[in-house]
Structure 1
Amino acid sequence: MVSEQDFIPSAYTNPVTNGSFEWSAPSNIALVKYWGKKANQIPANPSISFTLSNCKTITKLGFEKKESADGFSFDLLFEGQPKESFRPKIEKFFERVVAYLPFLKDYHFTIDTQNTFPHSSGIASSASGMAALAMNLMSVERLLNPQITDAYFYQKASFLARLGSGSACRSVKGSVVVWGSHAEIEGSSDLFGVPFTGQVHDIFKDYQDTILLVDKGEKQVSSTLGHDLMHNHPYAERRFAQAHDNLSALKAALVEGNLDAFIKITESEALTLHAMMMTSQPYFILMKPNTLEIINAIWKFRQETSVPVCFTLDAGANVHILYPENVSVKVLDFIKNELLGYCQNSQYICDKIGAGSELAD
């Protein structure tokens, strides 16, 4: 059993003065949702996600040795311009991980980051952003300790990313990733994400995700506050048990290629997530009227055509439409003809299942 102590390094063996790395990390969309967490970014229930391919953050990290280790020192750029509003989040992240990355106080860092999707598109960039930063920091650590294995490298990167943004741990490695201890997932842990260990059926290997941008505004309720509201939620314990059950069922569906079961579980999970928001105290609704219009249109289209298309939602109004690649022509025609009118400025993003973070050549 891996513990937090396993990620505290011993003395570094290879002194390094300066250098730079560049990693990209994708966003991900949870199928079984995590909602509610304990101290230190520990999830209250396990989750499983599809890693995306096109929606990603690209981060270049430059580092240079300082004269004295007197706190954190970094410059932060977003799309080439200083971005001071991101500074508190990076400061907090460094504070959380410095015990596991003691070199953080030894260097001045230049963090230059950009997204491949519009910054205000309503797609959360914290998962991809923190995963990309974690990958860069692990590359620095591997310079300082060349003995680090690939397995440890990716496991610790996921562990670190989680401390920046919980779901970021699912953006490090793998196309289907589980985060949170689950009896049927070998090696699963609350501390980091693990690639799904089952043999995923071919139908899911090129799965598509078209994201309909219903509302690009800032959420009225932060995810952090939403998670906190699960502490005294009247349905919390039953929900956490449900997530375990749904992950077991989804695991079987992914292996068997059972699209009916996949659709049933994925849509139920999306609606359950929002049901938890609507029944917390205080309660809130992040769906918009057009979110519901899209959901009803998907149900009608699926019933009339038997095309295996379904939806999921994150903690917002936008709709992720999931479907196999072999029906993409029909689904994209449906989206263009019937759904774009429900999107803000008719905007949508075509994505698909991906493989995780990548180091730039």
Structure 2
Amino acid sequence: MIDKDFIPSAYINDVKEGKVSYKSPSNIALVKYWGKKENQLPQNPSISFTLDACATTTNISFKKLETPSNDFSFDLWFEGKSKEDFKPKIKTFLSRVEVYLPFLKNYFFKIETSNSFPHSSGIASSASGMSALALCLMDLEKQLNPEIENDFFVKKASFLARLGSGSACRSIEGDIVQWGNHTNTKGSSDLYGVKYPYEVHDNFKKYHDTILLVDKGQKQVSSTVGHNLMYDHPFAEQRFNQAHENLNQLISVFKSGDLKEFIKIIESEALTLHAMMMTSLPYFILMKPNTLEIINKIWEFREKTNSNVCFTLDAGANVHVLYPEKEKDIVFQFIKDELIVFCENQQYICDRIGFGARKL
């Protein structure tokens, strides 16, 4: 598909008012997306576990205006309070998607949103938030045109979510979602995420992710700035090639259930992401001393016990501790005994693989 396929023709129905609600999860990338082209298109493909507990719930009440507005007409409420400082980001998103949702200026929207996890806790709230918003707007479009089929609905919701936040396109479905053109992945696209199309061993079912909140403060460098620094990065091409090769390797790893090879790829990806930050101009470091303490403790525990616990990182200091279902008891005890001491206020979030967004 191309982007013009998502521009609708005339709508069938006239919808005056209504309300729609979706709950959409965050996700954690295994192969990282870092660097983007125009229109939120990725420089390299990525793949992620869809989470379950870490999610955003968004309710949209809408009412048709007597005459279309010259601008977007909406109020935004976050955690039960009016949130004016969030509105510019939503307005930017609506501007990007207006050509694909031409009804937007015909309605007044009340957008109410809340997270199941603390704001600024290092969980990708932009992924869960933008995907939930995109799904609500797609639901209204489906009311305007009931002939929209489910496969198209999912693709377009992912396409729209991407225009709000790149990683949001991976939060529509689960349990493993790939985004970005990749020669060896059937149906892959830069425009939207796709449910991973190949065989996945039982070892990777019900995978756990315990998120250790090392630093809940605002990041010193935004992800948008970080992505832009890849334009002139001296190692950009090597990094993009590495992502493609790691996705090739994961096809056989997911099929065979080889946890040792999985660990090598996932931890290498996490460290490469931060290496790109440390070697850009300007350069920056988002890991904290306690991030490194946790990584070293995980390596020591794995060496001592032959466990299959591993870590990954997003563009921040917090650590995602990944481990298979069959090791949940021993690894979680290790986390409580040795790792949460390195968390801010000893805070952590227990999560596991989930299966995507759902309508409420």
TM-score interval (norm. to shorter): over 0.9
Distance 1:122 1:33 in 2: 16
Distance 1:326 1:61 in 2: 40
Taking the TM superposition and a 5 Å limit, the aligned residue runs for 1:110-121 are: 110-121=110-121
Taking the TM superposition and a 5 Å limit, the aligned residue runs for 1:143-292 are: 143-292=143-292
TM-score, length-scaled by structure 2: 0.99
Pair 1:27 & 2:26 matched: yes
Distance 2:111 2:347 in 1: 30
1:127 to partner: Cα distance: 0.4
User: What's the counterpart of residue 43 of structure 1?
Assistant: 42
Distance 1:230 1:33 in 2: 13
Deviations 1:234-269 (A, max 9, x none): 000010000000011112111111101100000000
Distance 1:142 1:288 in 2: 46
Three-state SS of the structure 2 residue aligned to 1:27 is strand
Distance 2:251 2:19 in 1: 39
1:183 to partner: Cα distance: 0.8
Three-state SS of the structure 1 residue aligned to 2:89 is helix
Distance 1:75 1:201 in 2: 45
Distance 1:120 1:264 in 2: 29
User: What's the counterpart of residue 317 of structure 1?
Assistant: 317
Number of equivalences: 359
- Aligned residue identity for 1:198: Y
Deviations 1:41-77 (A, max 9, x none): 0000000000000000000011000112122100100
User: What's the counterpart of residue 348 of structure 2?
Assistant: 348
Pair 1:56 & 2:55 matched: yes
User: What's the counterpart of residue 67 of structure 2?
Assistant: 68
- Aligned residue identity for 2:67: S
- Aligned residue identity for 2:99: A
1:120 to partner: Cα distance: 3.0
Deviating more after overlay: 92-101 vs 121-130: 121-130
- Aligned residue identity for 1:285: I
Gaps of 5+ in 1: none
User: What's the counterpart of residue 306 of structure 1?
Assistant: 306
Distance 1:64 1:225 in 2: 37
1:199 to partner: Cα distance: 1.6
User: What's the counterpart of residue 109 of structure 1?
Assistant: 109
Identity of aligned residues (%): 64
1:122 to partner: Cα distance: 2.3
1:26 to partner: Cα distance: 0.3
1:174 to partner: Cα distance: 2.0
Distance 1:310 1:93 in 2: 35
1:228 to partner: Cα distance: 0.2
Distance 1:353 1:160 in 2: 23
Deviations 1:314-338 (A, max 9, x none): 0000000000011111101111111
Gaps of 5+ in 2: none
Deviating more after overlay: 64-73 vs 270-279: 64-73
Distance 2:80 2:340 in 1: 32
Three-state SS of the structure 2 residue aligned to 1:37 is coil
- Aligned residue identity for 1:332: F
Three-state SS of the structure 2 residue aligned to 1:261 is helix
Deviations 1:71-120 (A, max 9, x none): 21001000111001110000000000000000000000010000000113
- Aligned residue identity for 2:316: G
1:145 to partner: Cα distance: 0.2
User: What's the counterpart of residue 12 of structure 1?
Assistant: 11
- Aligned residue identity for 1:318: N
Three-state SS of the structure 1 residue aligned to 2:103 is helix
Distance 1:155 1:23 in 2: 16
1:201 to partner: Cα distance: 0.7
Three-state SS of the structure 1 residue aligned to 2:137 is helix
Deviating more after overlay: 138-147 vs 62-71: 62-71
Distance 2:251 2:348 in 1: 29
Taking the TM superposition and a 5 Å limit, the aligned residue runs for 1:91-106 are: 91-106=91-106
TM-score, length-scaled by structure 1: 0.99
Three-state SS of the structure 2 residue aligned to 1:172 is coil
Q: Give yes or no for contact 2:27–2:124 (8 Å, CA) kept in 1.
A: no
1:124 to partner: Cα distance: 2.4
- Aligned residue identity for 2:231: H
